[in-house]
Amino acid sequence: MKNYFCKENRCVVLFLLVLGYSCQPKEKAIGLLAENAIVVSAHPLASKVGKDIIQEGGNAVDAAIAVQMALAVVYPQAGNIGGGGFMVIRESEGQYHSLDYREKAPLAASRDMYIDENGDALPEKSQNGHLASGVPGSVDGMVKAHEKLGSMEWAKLINPAIRLAEEGFALSENEAAYFTRASENLKKYSSVDPIQFTGKAWKAGDVFKQVQLANTLKLIRDKGRAGFYSGEVADYIIAEMERGGGIISLEDLEKYESTWREPLTGSYKDFNIITMGPPSSGGLIILQMLGIMENDQVSNQGESYAEYLHLKTEMERRIFADRAAFMADSDFYPVPVDELLDDSYLSQRFSNFDPQKATPSDLIMEGKILSMSEETTHFSIVDKEGNAVSCTTTLNGGMGSKVMVDGAGFLLNNEMDDFSIKPGFPNMFGVLGGEANKIEPEKRMLSSMTPTIIEKNNELFMVVGTPGGSTIPTSVFQVVVNVIEFGMGMQEAINEKRFHSQWKPDQISFEKDFERENILESLRNKGHELSERNGIGRVDAILVLEDGIMEGGADPRGMDAASGY
């Protein structure tokens, strides 16, 4: 008799083994665990600078200033002194602050400055070269942060960045490739060849030094605000503008002020959300999304995950339509913050939600307000007293305007593209805008940056944020939901594949290598168009675990790293 049994039995055993293997829970990713303090940023050297500052007795704000400056050296594609950002702070006793050091439109800017004589938009001018830059805010921001909440001597916070610029640092293979690729654009748009970047084809292990930048940082260290907005560095900026046809003037630099704003706050179940209000749209977007979702049960198990992603997409398309119509710099435009977050507004806004079917974006208009009343970088810090800083800072696109200020050795932003350069014309992240976000002198361009701090039962729970243009609020939302609703740890929540949609274009983008094909199929069946893309965002975040230990999650999509003790 043929031994069918044995053969079949072997198959059964093999099948059970395979089943057993695939049913085994994937090993849970765990980030850096630390008892005292954690700094998570886009670069290991910058994270270490921040951790050292705290170990030397500085607080989270001191560390944030040192990290911002260090990133300007080791992560020049986004870390900056020529750009701007937002910082959300929660002191250990529960006081909140938010600092707006977003760039401003120069005094000579005007609504139609990126429209040609035929009425066509000129994105090349709003995205590259001298005309693309807003007046930088980072240095004034760091000075203001230090004046109000810093505890260490200012010079000690700038010295680590000076050292990194002067002594240089060894490039990884990816950094070497990135700088080599970027050099053509830097040559093209800078008025003087920035040879510190373009002088050679970089390879792994090369030591990258920035002598001019070190000198600029020394002036900032010794003179504070005056070391950047007047004197030698200001003169370099103005000379650069004159050579390259830019419009930032000495008066713009002298007048620039960062500003403390009331943080935007809201609640979701047992959690308080402390985030950035206008001129960012990011905080409003996540509070609107959490507000709509508060009464829903969501799950990432089986088919329920497709239901959640459908819900998320339908929220996003309505809210990004609101973003285009109502969100802007509130110093210039009456952003209806309370109305946009009002429960009855949100439920009316979502009343045509169909759990079975995608709503075509063309059918979505902004809501009815009843009474009108990819380069960025994020870092998260908690110090040993429990003070927390969530900070997102940017030049906008990778290497900003690609203009290196000759003599001063730093890159200028291309943030002007975040204005609506022509009504209905998408910015570099494909988001639309209109009248609210039109260009006006000294106005801040609308942002999506979402530095956020979350409390659980009034205690510090999470510090979170990411770069990623218009995907920022939706990435922050997903990571928060992964933790709060799906029970993930910090690293696990960050590693999870992400999805994004934003009203127009009418599609869901999802990260490549997402393995649950049935979920994609369910979304297609509901009428969603899907498009695969590379990494969405780089979330760097910290979670306070039940036992008070913190977990720092650094995004594996970049070379991000946590440092702590």
Which is nearer to ligand DON, 183 or 393 (by Cβ)? 393
Minimum distance from CB of 428 to ligand DON (Å)?
A: 8
Measured between alpha carbons, how far is 187 from 79 in angstroms, rounded to an integer?
20
Nearest to 454 by CA among 471, 472, 476: 476
Give the three-class secondary structure for 33. strand
Closest chain position to ligand DON (CB): 374
Q: Who contacts 358 (Cβ-Cβ below 8 Å, separation ≥6)?
A: 310, 313, 314, 526, 527, 528
Q: How far is the CB of 560 from ligand DON (least distance, A)?
A: 13
Residue nearer to ligand DON on the CB measure, 55 or 259? 259
Least CB distance to ligand DON at residue 374 (A): 3
Compute the distance between CA of residue 382 and CA of residue 36 in angstroms, rounded to an integer: 8
H helices present in 459-560, as ranges: 472-484, 490-495, 517-525
Neighbouring C-alpha atoms within 13 Å toward the C-beta of 353: 22
Cβ atoms within 10 Å, residue 200: 13
Marked catalytic residue, from 198, 216, 275, 376: 376
**Angstrom distance (rounded) from CA 78 to CA 84:** 10
Length reported for the chain: 565
Do you find a cis peptide bond into 279, omega within 30 degrees of 0? yes
Neighbours of 150 (CB within 10 A): 20
Cβ closest to ligand DON, residue 100 vs residue 374? 374
Least distance CB 126 / ligand DON (angstroms): 12
Which residues are near ligand DON by CB under 6 A? Answer: 374-376, 394, 396, 415, 418, 447-449, 467-469, 472
376 is a catalytic site residue: yes
Residue closer to ligand DON by CB (options 42, 164) is 42
Q: At its nearest, how many Å lie between ligand DON and the CB of residue 394?
A: 5
The whole-angstrom distance between residue 427's C-alpha and the CA centroid of its chain comes to: 16
Q: Strand pairing of 508-511 and 530-533?
A: parallel
Q: For the stretch 353-390, what's the b/e string if a residue is b when 16 or more beta carbons lie within 10 angstroms of its beta carbon?
A: eeeeebbebeebebbeeeeeebbbbbbbbbbbebbbbb
Kindly state the smallest distance separating residue 426's Cβ from ligand DON, in Å: 13
Cis peptide before 76 (omega within 30 of 0): no
Nearer to ligand DON, 310 or 438 (CB): 438
Phi, psi of 263 (to 5 degrees): -65, 155
48, containing H or E segment: helix 44-55
Judged by beta carbon, residue 191 or residue 394, the one nearer ligand DON is 394
Smallest distance from ligand DON to CB 473, Å: 9
Enumerate the active-site residues.
376
